[in-house]
Amino acid sequence: MTRTVVLADDLSGAAEVAGIVFERTTDLELSLSGVDGFTAAVGIVDLDTRSRSAAEAGARLSDALDAVPAGTRVVVKIDSLLRGHVATTVDVLARRGRVVVAAGHPGLGRIVRNGVLYVNDVPLHRSSVWNAEPGLPPASVRDVVGTAPSVAVPDVTGDRDLDDVVASVADDPDVVLVGSGALAAALVRTLPAATATRDTHPADATRDVLTVVGTASVGARDQVARLAEDGVPVVSVDAAAVLAGRASTAELEGALARGSAVLTVSGPLDPSASGRLVVALGHLVARVAVGRAVDLTLTGGETARAVVDALGITTLRPVGQVHYGAVVLRAPDGRRIVTRPGSFGDRHSLSAIHAHLAGLPVGTVSQS
């Protein structure tokens, strides 16, 4: 079997792929530090480029590609809404050879028809899903990836299209596949099936859970409200205070002393400072989590990476999945961490993740 390396631009995306692969085989590794040293059939790397400059994103991708052994199938995981440094990514890849950009995610209502990305039947450039982004959404996939003849942009209206893409390059591992988690799933469907060892949790045991919401999506706010209905207290910290390093952890520590808690960020903030805010938030969470037997739910790839970096974690072992995109990872210190893209999940997503980690039925109040 051809060894596969998946390069993702953020941690929640890397974990999303790990959850997909885990459904098929446990012969996988998830690294936060690079490609070197992989021995598994599928190696997944978080390049942590989503919030960096285009130049730095390109340099990190180039370095990772240089470390990939010859004959390895390379898949580059991008955001299914074309956010992040997609143009830079494809440019770097196209200078090295053939690239197939199979964008979209049919299972999430994101398809490509006649080169245009649709979100629930609305063209991306006419939708509101880029409201939190600094620029305007592209009118077509080609507007992002360019017109180089070495770059193919097939339509993706269903999983069969993705299966066809994977089949079309099966005999040429040098072609790089670029797409969402749905493309990774199509590749995984070609792997030999193996029994996965599931994450188990004793029915009579409970764990405290800290849920950190690092996304501005409307859906995430509704999910927090649903989790609060379960009796989990919500602690909000002011963005400016976090950024200045003067946010108090007293309220959060008090909530965790009684059980589980949700941490959100409130208040206005200049979008140009969002990267520094995420890093500061990661350090704030680490101050509370270090030395405490608490599992973590981290929404938003940048937030997830900032927290695990602040905790000094460099590897994570996939052990299960609560629902699509909500992947259970085991850290070297034994704690479980669930990462999930900020835009994923229905209203009950965070409640279901909390219940899984806490060892409780969905909707059960976890406070002691």
Q: How far apart are CA 275 and CA 51, in angstroms?
A: 6
Please work out, in degrees rounded to the nearest 5, the angle formed at the alpha carbon of residue 107 by the alpha carbons of 13 and 21: 45
Decide the pairing of beta strands 73-77 and 176-179.
parallel
pTM of the shown model: 0.85
**Same-domain check for residues 138 and 215:** no
What SS3 class is residue 1? coil
Does a structural domain hold residue 65?
A: yes
Whether residue 162 sits in one domain with residue 243: no
Specify if 198 maps to a domain.
no
Residue 246 falls within a domain, yes or no?
Answer: yes
* Residue 274 and residue 339 in one domain: yes
pLDDT at 218: 72
Which of these, 252, 31, 76, lies nearest to 175 by C-alpha position? 76
Distance CA 365, CA 368 (A): 9
Q: Is 221 helix (H, G, I), strand (E, B) or coil?
A: helix
Q: What is the pLDDT of residue 57?
A: 97
Q: Report the C-alpha gap between 109 and 295 in whole angstroms.
A: 31
Q: Which of 120, 18, 30 is nearest to 315 (CA)?
A: 30
Query: What is the total count of domains within the chain?
Result: 2
Q: Are residues 260 and 228 in the same domain?
A: yes
**CA distance linking residue 152 with residue 272, whole number of Å:** 33
Structure-token pair, residue 351: 């409640």
pLDDT at 203: 39
Domain enclosing residue 130, as ranges: 4-188
Say what the pLDDT of residue 206 is.
Answer: 55
172 and 45 assigned to the same domain: yes
Is 311 part of any domain?
Answer: yes
Same domain, 229 and 173: no
From first to last of its 368 residues, the chain has per-residue pLDDT tens of 578 999 999 998 999 999 999 888 888 989 998 888 788 889 999 999 988 999 999 999 999 999 999 989 999 999 999 999 999 999 999 999 999 999 999 999 999 999 999 999 999 999 999 987 888 999 999 999 999 999 999 999 999 999 999 999 999 999 999 999 999 999 999 988 765 455 544 433 457 999 999 876 677 889 999 999 999 999 999 999 999 999 999 999 999 999 999 999 988 877 778 889 999 999 999 999 998 989 999 998 889 999 999 999 988 989 989 998 899 999 998 999 999 988 788 999 999 999 999 988 765 555 43
Residues 244 and 122 occupy one common structural domain:
no
Contact 112, 105 (CB under 8 A): no
Contact indicator for 303, 182 with CB cutoff of 8 Å: no
- Residue 204: the pLDDT is 38
CA 19, CA 328: separation in Å to the nearest integer?
8
| Greatest extent of the chain over all pairs of C-alpha atoms, in Å | 62
Do 226 and 339 reside in the same domain of the chain? yes
Q: What is the pLDDT of residue 192?
A: 80
Q: Are residues 251 and 324 in the same domain?
A: yes
Q: Using an 8 Å Cβ cutoff, are 242 and 309 in contact? A: no
CATH code assigned at 219 = 3.40.980.20
Q: How far apart are CA 166 and CA 331, in angstroms?
A: 32
Task: Identify the CATH number of the domain in which residue 169 sits.
Answer: 3.40.50.10840
Q: Are residues 172 and 25 in the same domain?
A: yes
